[in-house]
Structures are given as structure tokens and as C-alpha cells.
């Protein structure tokens, strides 16, 4: 078999190259720079703020240009506020109207309160004259205790309970009467009864007219005609009365009359119970006082509603004021306008980026160092920064943040160590008193 290995001198040369390379990179990992200092690269950064309106509107004026330096709270642009101004005028009028309504409601409440106080005074004065009259009442022989034995509240409660029971009984009696009248057996009696009621009215009218003719001069013709009508009405009444008397013996008539009697009695019991209750409702429990108290409650509710309307109107006005303040967009910090995306007359939406700005006085740079170099860096450590744009010039920097978690090597890392290892992000604050550095400039960092 033919030997496939290269000649011995070639193999020795390859081995020497490999060993030399390993030794070189091993030395470089321990000495990232010629003088043993750690070196890394990144780009100059700064906090970039997007300036966006919070309300929609037409751009009224743009007050800055790209590259212009501005201070915090400086006016950047303004939006047209004519629509919000009109809306605010309406909201202001609503506040005035709500306040006027409150004044009216307050006046009504004061009036209702005065009327209530007057009612209470009069009711207590009236009650004073009869407060002890119950002591002289003679109790029925069926009662064991005198009338005054029970308190006024107990007597009112008992009277109210009796009114409720009487009302229920009256309702039941009326429903039974309605049911009886709807029965077929009662229909004829009701018809006869209705006819009798009508003929009575007709007879009374005819008699009245007949009596009027007796005093008229030359009234014989009138009296004769009135007499004929009266005679006919009398005959109709007699016939209706006979039909009614004949129908009284029927079962339908008996049921109707008994049901009516129950309704009449139940009605009287209810009315009597209500009279007794009203007689006990004196002083603060009297109906005029209770009614006046309800009027006060209603007036108070109206006044509360008016107060709530004022709060709603004032909140709406405050909302419009807040929106109008947002028509003027100011710089959130000191910085430089990087981009300007709007022009006068354009319509912008909330959240749309109108311009961007950055504070170039607070520049930073983020670099990534290998895991085995992380321990050589500490917060507050100083470093030097150089950029290609200013060859031979250095800038000072200070470590302000060290990542707590490792990550895989990002694409922009430019350390000398192996690029497939894990690294830590180190953030430094760069001092640039002469404002030479710009965002995005590639820069080299050498840690001291």
C-alpha cells in the first residue's frame, strides 16, 4: 500500500504551526493587550426619546429643526386647539348651569325643611291638648286592661295591622263579588237591576219636567206633553220594579246581594280601621308631618343630584383643560433633536413619532467581555475610550453597570478572545465635555 501521509518535514512543520498558534492565543487570552489591560469595542450610545403627541390634531407650528439643541421644557411643536376650545366653552356653560340648578335645589330643600319644622311644631302643639285624654276613656267590659295600658307605638302598630287585614278582606270580598257577577246565573238579575236603575232615572227626570210645567203661563199643552212622558215613565218603572221583585227570589240574585253585602261591610270595616289609625297618628306620626318629611327627603335627593352634576361637569371641564395642555409638546429633557417627522399643517395621531431627541451629555457604551475576564472589572472602574474620528484623542469612561447573567457572544463583540464563548455586558458612562462624540460611532475601550 502506498503511504498517504505527507513527508516527515512537512508533518513536523504543521505540528509546530499548531503548537505555536495555541501558545499565541493562550498568551493573548491572558494578555488581551500588549500591556495586560483588557480591551473591548462597541458603539457610542445615548438615551433616545421619541416625541409623540398624546392627542390628535393638526400641527399648528413646529418650533425646532434637526440638530438643534434644546433645554428641558422647551416648546417643540403645537397643535390646533380650536375644537377643544369650543368644547371647553360648552363644558364651562354646563358647569354654570349645574351650579344654578344646585342653587335652585338648595332653595327647595330649605323651603321643604322649613315647612317640615312648621308641621312638627303644629302637630306637637295639637297633640299636647289630647295627650292625656286617653286616661279618661272608659274601657269596654270585654277588655282586661285600660286603653292607656298600651303605649302609643303599640296602639299604632295594632291599628296598622288591622288596616292591613281589613284591606285584604275587602280585596277578597270584591274578588268574590266579581266572580259571582260573572256567573251565568247572575246575568239575568244584573240585567233586570240595570233596567230598574235606568227607569228610575228616567222617571225622576220626567217628574221634574212635569213639576216645572205647573208654574208656566199658558202651559196646558206643555203640561199635557209632560204628563204623557211621565205616565210612560211610570209604567216603565212599575214594570221594571215588578221584574226586579220577581227576580229577587232567584239563586243568582241571592248570590249577588250576599256578595255585595260582604263588600259593603268589608269596606266599612276598612274605613273604620283607617279612621282609628289616623286618630292615633298625632304628633310626629301624623300624616302631615310624614308627608312633609318625605318632601324634605326628596328635596335632599334633588340637591345631592345637583351636586353630583356639578362634579361631573367640573370633571369634564378638567378633562378638556388637560387635553388642551397637551396641545403644546415640550422637550422632556436637555438634548439634541435627532429627527423631525412632521411639518406645519399635517394631521398627527396620538402616539405617532413626531421627532426624536437624545441627551448627548450623557453618552454610554456597552461592551462584552469573556467570562474569564469578568472578575477583572468592577463598578466605578475607569477606562479610556478612543474613536476613529478623533485619532490620538482619548476620552474617559466609568463602569456604571455589570450584567448579572451571561449570554452568548453577540455579533458586535470585538474582543480578542474566542467568539463562541459566553460573555457579560459591561456598560460605561463616557465623558465628552467638548461634545465631539456622536451616537453610533465605533469606539474602543481599554479598562485601567
pLDDT tens digits, one per residue of 147-174:
667 777 888 888 899 999 999 999 999 9
> Three-class SS of residue 187?
helix
- CA distances 323 to 56, 83, 145, 345, Å, are 10, 11, 77, 19
Tell me the pLDDT band of 14, cut-offs 50, 70 and 90. Answer: very low
Three-state SS annotation for 201-240: HHHHHHHHHHHHHCCCCCCHHHHHHHHHHHHHHHHHHHHH
Which comes out higher in pLDDT, residue 314 or 3?
A: 314
Higher per-residue pLDDT: 246 or 31: 246
In the predicted structure, residue 5 carries a pLDDT above the cut 70: no
pLDDT digits (tens, 9 = 90+) for 171-184: 999 999 999 998 87
Residue 168 grid cell: 285584604
| pLDDT reported for residue 301 | 96
Residue bearing cell 465605533: 442
Q: Got the DSSP string for 374-393?
A: GGG--TT-EEEEEEGGGTT-
Residue with cell 459591561: 426
Mean pLDDT of the 52-70 span: 94
pLDDT digits (tens, 9 = 90+) for 293-335: 999 999 999 999 999 999 999 999 999 999 999 999 999 999 9
Domain ranges of the chain: 8-46+360-447, 50-80+327-355, 120-186+257-297
Grid coordinates representing 312? Answer: 361631573
Percentage of residues of the chain with pLDDT beyond 70: 85
CATH of 50-80+327-355, one of 2.30.30.240, 3.90.1640.30, 3.30.565.10, 2.40.50.100: 2.40.50.100
Q: Which residue has the higher pLDDT, 36 or 306?
A: 306
| pLDDT at residue 270 in the model | 95
Length of the chain: 448
What integer pLDDT is reported at residue 58 of this predicted model? 95
Average pLDDT over the chain, rounded to whole?
86
The topology under which CATH files domain 8-46+360-447 is Elongation Factor Tu (Ef-tu); domain 3 (2.40.30)
pLDDT at 410: 62
SS3 category, 64: coil
pLDDT higher than threshold 70 for residue 443:
yes
Using pLDDT thresholds of 50, 70 and 90, give the confidence band for residue 132. low
**Residue 199: pLDDT above 80?**
yes
More reliable by pLDDT, 287 or 130: 287
* One-character DSSP codes across 67-96: T-EE-TT-EEEEE--HHHHHHHHHHHHHHH
Q: Do 8-46+360-447 and 50-80+327-355 share a fold?
A: no
Q: Is 24's pLDDT higher than 50?
A: no
pLDDT in tens, 423-432: 899 999 999 9
pLDDT at 372 over 80: yes
Q: Which residue has the higher pLDDT, 31 or 385?
A: 385
Question: What pLDDT is stored for residue 282 in this prediction?
Answer: 78
Dihedral sign, CA of 388, 389, 391, 395? negative
Would you call 69 exposed, middle or buried from its count of C-beta atoms within 10 A (0-12, 13-18, 19+)?
A: middle
For residue 230, pLDDT beyond 80: yes
pLDDT value at residue 184: 79
Give the DSSP H or E segment for 310: helix 287-325
Confidence of residue 223 (pLDDT cuts 50, 70, 90): confident
Is residue 11 pLDDT above 50, yes or no?
no
For residue 338, give the C-alpha cell. Answer: 435627532
pLDDT of residue 435: 86
Query: What's the average model confidence in pLDDT over 12-33?
Result: 36
Q: For 399-419, what is the mean pLDDT?
A: 71
Which of 15-24, 279-288, 391-400 comes out lowest in average pLDDT?
15-24
Amino acid at each position: 500500500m502506498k503511504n498517504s501521509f505527507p513527508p516527515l518535514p512537512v508533518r513536523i512543520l504543521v505540528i509546530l504551526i499548531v503548537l505555536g498558534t495555541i501558545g499565541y492565543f493562550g498568551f493573548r487570552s491572558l494578555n488581551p493587550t500588549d500591556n495586560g489591560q483588557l480591551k473591548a469595542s462597541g458603539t457610542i450610545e445615548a438615551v433616545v426619546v421619541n416625541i409623540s403627541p398624546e392627542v390628535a390634531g393638526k400641527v399648528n407650528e413646529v418650533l425646532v429643526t434637526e440638530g438643534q439643541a434644546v433645554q428641558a421644557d422647551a416648546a417643540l411643536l403645537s397643535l390646533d386647539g380650536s375644537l377643544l376650545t369650543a368644547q371647553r366653552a360648552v363644558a364651562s356653560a354646563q358647569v354654570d348651569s349645574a351650579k344654578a340648578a344646585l342653587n335652585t335645589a338648595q332653595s327647595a330643600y330649605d323651603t321643604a325643611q322649613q315647612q317640615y319644622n312648621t308641621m312638627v311644631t303644629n302637630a306637637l302643639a295639637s297633640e299636647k291638648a289630647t295627650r292625656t285624654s286617653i286616661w279618661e276613656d272608659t274601657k269596654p267590659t270585654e277588655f282586661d286592661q285600660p286603653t292607656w295600658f298600651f303605649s302609643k307605638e303599640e296602639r299604632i302598630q295594632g291599628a296598622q295591622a288591622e288596616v292591613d287585614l281589613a284591606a285584604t278582606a275587602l280585596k277578597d270580598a270584591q274578588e268574590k263579588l266579581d266572580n259571582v257577577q260573572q256567573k251565568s246565573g247572575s246575568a239575568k238579575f244584573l240585567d233586570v237591576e240595570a233596567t230598574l236603575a235606568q227607569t228610575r232615572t228616567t222617571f225622576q227626570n220626567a217628574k221634574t219636567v212635569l213639576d216645572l210645567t205647573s208654574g208656566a203661563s199658558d202651559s196646558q199643552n206643555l203640561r199635557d206633553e209632560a204628563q204623557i212622558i211621565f205616565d210612560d215613565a211610570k209604567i216603565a218603572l212599575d214594570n221594571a220594579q215588578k221584574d226586579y221583585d220577581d227576580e229577587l227570589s232567584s239563586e243568582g240574585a241571592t248570590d249577588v246581594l250576599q256578595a255585595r253585602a260582604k263588600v259593603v261591610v268589608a269596606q266599612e270595616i276598612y274605613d273604620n280601621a283607617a279612621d282609628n289609625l289616623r286618630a292615633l297618628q298625632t304628633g310626629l306620626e301624623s300624616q302631615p308631618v310624614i308627608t312633609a318629611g318625605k318632601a324634605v327627603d326628596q328635596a335632599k335627593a334633588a340637591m345631592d343630584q345637583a351636586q353630583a352634576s356639578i362634579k361631573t361637569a367640573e370633571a369634564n371641564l378638567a378633562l378638556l383643560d388637560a387635553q388642551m395642555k397637551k396641545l403644546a409638546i415640550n422637550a422632556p429633557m436637555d438634548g439634541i433633536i435627532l429627527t423631525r417627522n412632521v411639518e406645519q399643517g399635517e394631521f398627527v395621531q396620538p402616539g405617532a413619532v413626531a421627532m426624536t431627541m437624545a441627551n448627548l451629555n450623557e453618552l454610554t457604551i456597552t461592551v462584552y467581555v469573556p467570562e474569564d475576564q469578568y472578575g477583572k472589572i468592577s463598578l466605578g472602574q475607569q477606562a479610556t475610550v478612543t474613536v476613529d474620528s478623533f485619532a490620538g484623542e482619548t476620552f474617559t469612561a466609568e463602569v456604571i453597570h455589570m450584567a448579572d447573567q451571561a449570554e452568548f457572544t453577540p455579533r458586535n463583540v470585538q474582543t480578542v478572545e474566542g467568539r463562541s464563548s459566553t460573555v457579560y455586558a459591561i456598560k460605561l458612562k463616557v465623558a465628552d465635555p467638548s461634545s465631539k462624540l456622536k451616537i453610533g460611532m465605533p469606539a474602543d475601550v481599554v479598562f485601567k
